[in-house]
């Protein structure tokens, strides 16, 4: 026996109010609501802004993952000189994870607390390889 409030598949025929057009419109409306909610959540979440120095290739790679802002180049005349940039992470743990993945190609400049954590983690990793 079917639940009294359940719709049967037969009620979704082309001639019903739940036809393909109405269903598609509801789906689009749901996507708009989802996007607005997701955008609002992203804006409301605290972010950690990090200043770092890295090689140009790593800067380009990082920019494919998230928004970055170039603060300068060590030597503007040399296209391979290190790049100083700003970027945001979800939190310090996320930043630490990504920046440790860049290894010696990235130097954390700010915030000092993240710089200290990344340095300590790299030193501990180096001890494992001795």
Q: pLDDT digits over 26-74, tens only?
A: 888 888 888 887 777 667 666 899 999 999 999 999 999 888 988 888 8
- Other Cβ atoms within 10 Å of 3 Cβ, number: 6
- Hey, where are the domains in the chain? 14-44, 48-128
The reported pLDDT for the residue numbered 18 is 60
Residues in contact with 18: Cβ distance below 8 Å, sequence separation at least 6, in sequence order:
7, 11, 12
Between 3.30.70, 2.60.40, 2.60.120, 1.10.3470, what CATH number should domain 48-128 receive? 3.30.70
pLDDT of residue 42: 66
Lay out the sheet containing 106-110: strands in order across.
68-73, 83-89, 48-54, 106-110
**pLDDT tens readout for residues 80-123:** 889 999 999 999 999 999 999 999 999 999 999 999 999 999 99
Taking the CA atoms of the chain, what radius of gyration do you get in angstroms? 25
Cβ atoms within 10 Å of 118's Cβ, excluding its own = 21
């Amino acid at each position: 026996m079917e639940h009294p409030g359940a719709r049967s598949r037969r009620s979704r025929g082309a001639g019903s109010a739940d036809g393909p057009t109405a269903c598609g419109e509801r789906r689009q409306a749901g996507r708009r609501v989802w996007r607005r909610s997701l955008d609002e959540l992203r804006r409301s979440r605290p972010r950690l802004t990090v200043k770092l120095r890295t090689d140009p290739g790593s800067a380009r790679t990082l920019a494919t993952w998230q928004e970055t802002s170039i603060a300068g180049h060590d030597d503007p005349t040399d296209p391979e000189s290190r790049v100083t940039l700003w970027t945001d992470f979800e939190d310090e743990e996320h930043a630490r994870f990504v920046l440790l993945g860049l290894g010696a190609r990235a130097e954390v400049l700010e915030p000092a607390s993240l710089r200290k954590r990344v340095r300590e983690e790299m030193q501990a990793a180096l001890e494992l390889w001795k």
